[in-house]
Amino acid sequence: MAAEKIKVGISSCLLGMKVRFDGGHKHDRFLTGKLSKYFDWVAVCPEIEIGMGTPRENVRLVGDINNPKMIAPKSGSDYTEKMLKYADERLEKLRSSDLSGYILKKDSPSCGMERVRVYDHNNVPQRNGIGIFARKLMEAFPLLPVEEEGRLNDPLLRENFIARVFAYRDLQKFLRNDPTPGGLVKFHTAYKLTVMAHNPVNYRALGRLVAQSGGENFSEVLTQYCTLLMDTLKQRASTRKHANVLYHILGYFKRDIDTGDKQEIVETIELYRKGMVPLVVPISLLKHHLRRNPVAWINEQAYMNPYPQELMLRNNI
């Protein structure tokens, strides 16, 4: 039986829908091809859904960086209030969709996640804005993994985002099925190595929160844990930190293998650390030895299989 697909919100134009202001689209074949095998897309186009139609006049953000207006420069039409009202209503409906991630269209005055042009009173653009809908989205769902399609062309950002989506899906399942101190211990145990690869300091902080989960303030501790976890996973896992985790894994079974095998693993980890081979190489070698010398705790780590191997994301980092 195929695994249930993960629901992920997405700007409609990225799926090939002709909803752009010029009547076109921005079809992204990686998203609709490989990722569609695992993600169930929830398509949203704020500009179409507020009734702007297609083709339509272009709009831009104008004024205050943190509270811009959405203006059509040719006609002078102001769509700000309509977009703000729509965003509140649409995001409330999306709560029932159980989204585990969201991919936005870059540079869009409604959907851009960062570096969107905002025109000042001299009509000079500053690239430090956020699309009106995108800002509302990230405020309404602060833990939700959100990324722009343009940034997904970077292998490190692509791997990080997809790993966060799968991790957030696991977090949602835990919160839905077993939101207890015992459940938190089990969840955290499975994500220890993943967290270690992103931020060793937060690894210790999360461990302290789990240790406090048996008290009367469990609800507060759980909220703090979820927030810190997703913030930690958003940070890039560096080559050095990955190498430290790989050595940590080796430490669990190094006494069960001969000197030659141990030396081969060490050399492979060092090749990865120096950027000479991708992460998949030492991971695959460790998995080979773990099949011969099973360590239950390691095999249960999300770090070993954070997403389907068919995505081949660790082949490029």
Question: DSSP of 134-191, one letter per residue?
Answer: HHHHHHH-TTS-EEETTGGGSHHHHHHHHHHHHHHHHHHHHHHH--SHHHHHHHHHHT
What global pTM score does this model have? Answer: 0.95
* Cα distance between residue 184 and residue 210, in whole Å: 7
* Cα distance between residue 52 and residue 50, in whole Å: 6
Answer yes or no: is 132 within a domain. Answer: yes
Please say which residue of 134, 153, 172 terminates a domain: 153
Pair 131, 109: CB distance under 8 Å: yes
Cβ-proximal residues to 205 (8 Å cutoff; 6+ apart), any chain = 228
DSSP class of residue 90 equals: H
Answer yes or no: is 31 within a domain. Answer: yes
Answer yes or no: is 97 within a domain. Answer: yes
Do 95 and 174 reside in the same domain of the chain? no
Q: What angle do CA 314, 30, 110 make, to 5 degrees?
A: 110
Do 128 and 222 reside in the same domain of the chain? no
Do 219 and 236 reside in the same domain of the chain? yes
First to last CA, the chain: 31
In whole angstroms, what separates CA 251 from the centre of its chain?
A: 30
Pair 44, 11: CB distance under 8 Å: yes
Answer yes or no: is 291 within a domain. Answer: yes
The DSSP bridge pattern shows strands 116-119 and 125-129 to be antiparallel
Each of the 317 residues of the chain gets a pLDDT tens digit; together they read: 457 899 999 999 999 999 998 889 999 999 999 999 999 999 999 999 999 989 999 999 999 999 999 999 999 999 999 999 999 999 999 999 999 999 999 999 999 999 999 999 889 999 999 999 999 999 999 999 999 999 999 999 999 999 999 999 999 999 999 999 999 999 999 999 999 999 999 999 999 999 999 888 999 999 999 999 999 999 999 999 999 999 999 999 999 999 999 999 999 999 999 999 999 999 999 999 999 999 999 999 999 999 999 999 999 99
Q: Give how far Cα 104 sits from Cα of 51, 151, 260, Å.
A: 20, 10, 49
* Cα distance between residue 94 and residue 42, in whole Å: 9
Do 56 and 112 reside in the same domain of the chain? yes
Do 205 and 226 reside in the same domain of the chain? yes
φ/ψ of 106, rounded to 5, equals: -65, 150
Do 199 and 316 reside in the same domain of the chain? yes
Do 69 and 138 reside in the same domain of the chain? yes
Q: What pLDDT shows up at residue 2?
A: 56
Do 101 and 180 reside in the same domain of the chain? no
Please say which residue of 129, 153, 177 terminates a domain: 153
Q: What angle do CA 20, 35, 191 make, to 5 degrees?
A: 125
Do 189 and 255 reside in the same domain of the chain? yes
Q: What pLDDT shows up at residue 1?
A: 41
Helices (H) and strands (E) in the chain, counts: 13, 8
Answer yes or no: is 1 within a domain. Answer: no
For the purposes of burial, counting CB atoms within 10 Å of the CB of 183, is it exposed (0-12), middle (13-18) or buried (19 or more)?
Answer: middle
Domain count across the chain: 2
Answer yes or no: is 243 within a domain. Answer: yes
φ/ψ of 148, rounded to 5, equals: -95, 150
Cβ-proximal residues to 121 (8 Å cutoff; 6+ apart), any chain = 63
Do 147 and 167 reside in the same domain of the chain? no
- Cα four-point dihedral sign 86, 92, 97, 103: positive
Do 22 and 144 reside in the same domain of the chain? yes
The residue range of the domain holding 287 is 154-317
For the purposes of burial, counting CB atoms within 10 Å of the CB of 239, is it exposed (0-12), middle (13-18) or buried (19 or more)?
Answer: middle
Please say which residue of 153, 187, 207 terminates a domain: 153
Do 38 and 176 reside in the same domain of the chain? no
Q: What pLDDT shows up at residue 66?
A: 93
